[in-house]
Amino acid sequence: MSDKEEDKERCPECGGMLIVEENKLRCEKCGLILEEDYLNRKPDWRAFSSEERDKKKRSGPPVSVTKHDKGLSTEIGSYGISGEDFSPEKRRYLSRLRRLHSQSRRLSGKERSLSVGFQELHRISTQLSLSKSVHEFASVIYKVASDKNLIKGRSIESIAAAALYIACRYYNVPRTLDEFKEVARVSKKKIARAERFLVKNLDVSLEPTSPVDYIPRFVSKVGLGKDVEDLSNEIAEKAMEEGVLSGRSPVSIAVASIYIAARRKEVKMTQRELSEVSGVSVVTIRKRFHEIEEILGS
């Protein structure tokens, strides 16, 4: 079936246009779901004339900035090689061919470093469930840093984690350095140092993070309600307005604000529970708690 014929498909109930949304084929007009886990075979681009269609037509996956070669190289897959369709000699030959082909795509040390770095970006972003836009922005940061020889002599893991942390801050995605430390296989100190290094040398403009950005996630993690979240936001904003907590970690202010809000709402919540979900030590939470209470009391 051609693309034009597919576009003419209509809902059998109301005659509305069929659209694909979240892997489901449904009617745009009445909402009837005709098929779940729908495989959309249409191209990922749109064309409004035959010339534009011919210009955009291509084979293979789309270009991606999250791959060191932008996904344009040929892949020799391993599917079927281990099966019974090939003799042992043929399987060994194909495995060797695949290995040599993989090595030929990364001849220089810089390309090998870039490939490893992009694999690390993919691993960390997957474990932290980061969005595609964050992953792509971090990939661009890493590529620019590589082109400017900023990665040489530094840990690939720390630069990759720092690039993703910068991308999270750029898109206002609340992720803490402690969360990156858990999956990046490097210390929090190294990630923070690499983040400052990249921001300085790449001239990246970032807005300072606010405690309010972290409150919804932590409230959700410990299972508190919307009333506690709203009061936590008010407390954190009041603390920041007073300016007394200037220079303090926004994460610690957010956690302390949640603890105070839970106490005022008479909801059982311990500093230890908040420490486990946020990575902020109990001692720091207690200090921020007393400081904010003093501000609110005055």
| Contact indicator for 254, 234 with CB cutoff of 8 Å | no
**Polymer length in residues for the chain:** 298
| Contact indicator for 181, 188 with CB cutoff of 8 Å | yes
Exposed, middle or buried: residue 177 (CB in 10 Å: 0-12, 13-18, 19+)?
A: buried
| CA atoms in the 13 A half-sphere facing the CB of 251 | 18
Report which of 37, 38, 16 is spatially closest to residue 27, judged by C-alpha positions: 16
40 φ/ψ sector (left φ>0, alpha ψ -120 to 50, else beta): beta
| Contact indicator for 177, 191 with CB cutoff of 8 Å | yes
Quickly count: other Cβ atoms within 10 Å of residue 270's Cβ: 13
- 168 among the known binding-site residues? no
CA quadruple 77, 83, 86, 87: dihedral sign: positive
Which residue positions form the known binding site for Zn(2+)?
11, 14, 27, 30
Which residue positions form the known binding site?
11, 14, 27, 30
